Structure 1
Amino acid sequence: MKPAADGSGASSAAGRPLQAARGAVQAVATGGRYLAQSLRLMVGLPDYDAYLTHRERTHPGEPVMSYAEFFRERQDARYGGNGRIGRCC
Structure 2
Amino acid sequence: MNPLYALPEFSNLLLQASSSLREVGAENLADLFANALYDRSQVDQAIAKLRIRVAQGESPADPDGDAPWSGAGKAAQEYTLRLIQRLDRCISLNRVSL
Normalising by structure 2, we get a TM-score of 0.25
In terms of Rg, which structure is larger?
Answer: 1
Q: Which has the higher contact order (CA 8 A, sep 6+)?
A: 2
Point out the structure with the larger helix share: 2
